[in-house]
């Protein structure tokens, strides 16, 4: 069931002379328990679209339903209550510097109908959840970026939200800390059933934890699908560009091409790219090439990743054999649903 349903959302900003169309007639449904990544370059409209979910941005037109409730027509009081179920974290953490970690996390509970004791227990539990129990009495300035984001996550969870919006939450962090925060988000998704909307310009972050992906450009979602669909069969050039930033494939290809300019292929050699998804047998096929087809294989690059529990592999391989032998070998890959493409020398594929 869709926990978030945005329908025909338009957001325009009127400035003195200009009208900026930030989001143009976009519709998106996000299911309960999903981690939905929205990727795009700066200015694509990601934040504006996602901020309509909790009405931080009122759409110019369109419908916003969260847990079946139309958000655009709520009165201020009802909206305040509805927002409690939608936590949010940001790139720059937005902590209050003059109060402690404990007090930051306790802040959203100020008006909660809980006893003082219950509030203390709750904050301690949240700090434990994000691995910061020992930092309760520190001030934000005494924490690393990753720790600050953990505090922000604990604070965002104070009202037991069903949805967490993460707006570039890892963009200011180094790669290792980014992975730790993403692992924490994944854990919260799995243990609390938290639905997460992840806005980012980093495909790497999407690759780590998202189940679904939407790619945005100029106020439009230009492509969407499961993580596997987007990574294994991207259609738009922008999607391909983003994927290249998260895999080493293009970089590896450039290096291999460079290598081949100094060590050119022989007449009986071809460079091929091999891509497979799922439990396909690219690896055994490569190792049996010589026995089955008299074709020898020299693997110049290979990489395998697990995306949502599915192996996704790629390899750049030099095959050596006669024309007929190569033709039969390549056909065998195709028969086994492994994508194989010959890469012309000196060109790109
Ligand atoms: N309050 C505002 N007033 C005027 N223009 C705005 C406002 N907020 C956003 N915009 C414009 O709307 C467009 C989309 O911005 P938005 O912040 O949604 O993009 P984004 O993809 O989230 O990028 P970033 O990650 O840089 O925030 C941009 O052209 C931006 O300048």
Beta carbons within 10 angstroms of residue 321's beta carbon: 20
Residue 246: predicted pLDDT: 80
Q: Which of 228, 246, 264 is the last residue of a domain?
A: 246
284-338 confidence digits (pLDDT tens):
888 889 999 999 999 999 888 888 888 888 899 999 999 999 999 999 999 888 8
Find the helix or strand (DSSP H, E) in which 245 lies: helix 237-246
pTM confidence score: 0.88
Q: What's the total number of domains in the chain?
A: 2
Q: What CATH number should be reported for the domain holding residue 117?
A: 3.40.50.300
11 Cβ closer than 6 Å to some ligand 1 atom: no
Residue 45, phi then psi, degrees to nearest 5: 110, 10
40 Cβ closer than 6 Å to some ligand 1 atom: yes
Residues of the chain with confidence (pLDDT) below 50 = 347-349
Of 130, 135, 103, which Cα lies nearest the Cα of 119? 103
Query: CB–CB of 32/44 below 8 Å?
Result: no
Which pair of tokens denotes residue 224?
A: 């969407």
As a whole number of angstroms, the distance between CA 243 and CA 204 comes to 8
Residue 234: give the domain boundaries. Answer: 2-246
For residue 43, what are the contacts with CB-CB under 8 A and spacing of at least 6? none
Residues 269 and 327 in one domain: yes
146 Cβ closer than 6 Å to some ligand 1 atom: no
Q: What CATH number should be reported for the domain holding residue 273?
A: 3.30.70.260
- Atom 26 of ligand 1: nearest residue by CA position: 42
Only one residue has tokens 């027509």, namely 73
- Atom 10 of ligand 1: nearest residue by CA position: 22
Residue 281: predicted pLDDT: 63
48 Cβ closer than 6 Å to some ligand 1 atom: yes
Tell me how far the alpha carbon of residue 206 lies from the centroid of ligand 1, in angstroms: 21
Residues listed for the chain: 349
Residues forming beta bridges with residue 3, ordered by sequence position: none
325 Cβ closer than 6 Å to some ligand 1 atom: no
Work out whether strand 86-90 and strand 269-277 pair parallel, antiparallel, or are unpaired.
unpaired
Only one residue has tokens 């060109």, namely 347
Task: Decide if 347 is inside a domain.
Answer: no
Residues 228 and 118 in one domain: yes
């Amino acid at each position: 069931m869709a926990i978030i349903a945005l329908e025909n959302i338009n957001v325009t900003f009127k400035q003195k002379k200009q009208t900026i169309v930030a989001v143009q007639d976009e519709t998106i449904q996000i299911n309960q328990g999903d981690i939905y990544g929205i990727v795009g370059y700066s200015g694509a409209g990601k934040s504006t679209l996602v901020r309509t979910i909790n009405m931080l941005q009122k759409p110019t037109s369109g419908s916003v339903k969260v847990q079946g409730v139309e958000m655009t027509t709520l009165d201020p009081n009802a909206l305040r209550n509805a927002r409690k179920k939608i936590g949010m974290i940001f790139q720059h953490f937005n902590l209050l510097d003059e109060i402690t970690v404990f007090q930051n996390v306790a802040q959203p509970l100020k008006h909660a109908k809980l006893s003082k004791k219950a509030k203390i227990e709750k904050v301690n539990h949240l700090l434990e959840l994000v691995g910061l129990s020992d930092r309760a009495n520190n001030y934000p300035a005494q924490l690393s970026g990753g720790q600050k984001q953990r505090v922000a996550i604990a604070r965002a969870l104070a009202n037991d939200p069903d949805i967490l919006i993460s707006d570039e939450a890892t963009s200011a962090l180094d790669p290792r800390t980014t992975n730790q925060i993403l692992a924490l988000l994944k854990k919260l998704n799995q243990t609390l059933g938290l639905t997460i909307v992840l806005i980012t310009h980093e495909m790497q972050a999407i690759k780590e934890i998202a189940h679904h992906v939407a790619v945005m450009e100029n106020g439009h979602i230009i492509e969407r699908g499961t993580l596997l669909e987007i990574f294994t069969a991207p259609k738009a050039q922008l999607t391909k560009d983003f994927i290249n930033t998260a895999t080493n494939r293009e970089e590896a290809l450039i290096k291999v091409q460079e290598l081949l300019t100094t060590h050119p292929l022989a007449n009986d050699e071809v460079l091929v790219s091999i891509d497979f998804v799922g439990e396909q047998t690219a690896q055994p096929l490569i190792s049996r090439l010589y026995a089955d087809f008299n074709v020898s294989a020299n693997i110049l690059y290979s990489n395998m990743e697990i995306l949502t529990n599915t192996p996704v592999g790629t390899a750049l391989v030099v095959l050596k054999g006669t024309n007929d032998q190569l033709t039969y070998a390549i056909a065998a890959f195709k028969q086994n649903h492994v994508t194989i493409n010959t890469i012309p020398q000196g060109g790109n594929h």
